[in-house]
Amino acid sequence: MFAGLARYDEVARGAINHALRFTLQYSQQAFTPPASHWANNSSNQYAAPMGMRLRLKSSFDISSFPPQSKVILAALQQYGMIMADNGSSMYVTGDTDSRWNNDDLASLKTVPASEFDVILMDPIYTPANVPTGPDPVISSFTANPPSISAGQSSTLSWAVSGASYYIVSPQVGAIRGTSVSVTPTRTTTYTLYSTNEYGRSTAKVTVTVE
């Protein structure tokens, strides 16, 4: 979930460099990658599958929107948003932060759904063709060094077989490769999510800040 949130720190820096997660009221019994499950609450054939990606049309003028909303809309034009759960329709999920300006963010409600394009969904999995196979296997997930002083960094490394992509949470997000450097400000437990078309495996490691 963390990887798809609109995070205040990114907005404050002026750019969100990833797709955002959003919700719709109804979904069908189907999913398309990067989703790996469904949570259907509708039998309507036109309800969305989990993982459906929408992208804000490049022709939509965002110049008049307030600062925080403008950064979010720019990300939606470049990376789009991925349906990740049932909930309020066209609701983009953000992290909890007192620095958000709710009046600014309210302007996002003025963007009509008709200004979004659906990105090609291929394949779409249903009960008739859902893939089966082994989940990724995580053989190691380590921190080096496991203990640091404030301001220092630690390298998280992992060895995984059978994964398509990874998410490291908190702070890091979606990532490819087998390592990443982190600089936590306090003792933090990191979770590695390894995902393929069959499912997801997880592992945890703690970096202690002394």
pLDDT given for residue 196 in this prediction? 85
Rg (CA), the chain: 19
Give the single-character DSSP code of 105. Answer: H
For 88-107, write each residue's pLDDT tens digit: 999 999 999 999 999 999 99
Structure tokens given for 121: 């969904």
The CATH class of 137-209 is mainly beta
How many Cβ atoms sit within 10 Å of the Cβ of residue 97? 12
Residues of the chain with pLDDT under 70: 1-2
Domain ranges of the chain: 2-118, 137-209
Is residue 30 a contact partner of residue 49, using CB atoms and an 8 Å limit? yes
Q: Does residue 116 contact residue 51 with C-beta atoms inside 8 Å? A: no
pTM across the whole model? 0.68
Which candidate, 102, 81, 77, places its Cα nearest to that of 90?
81
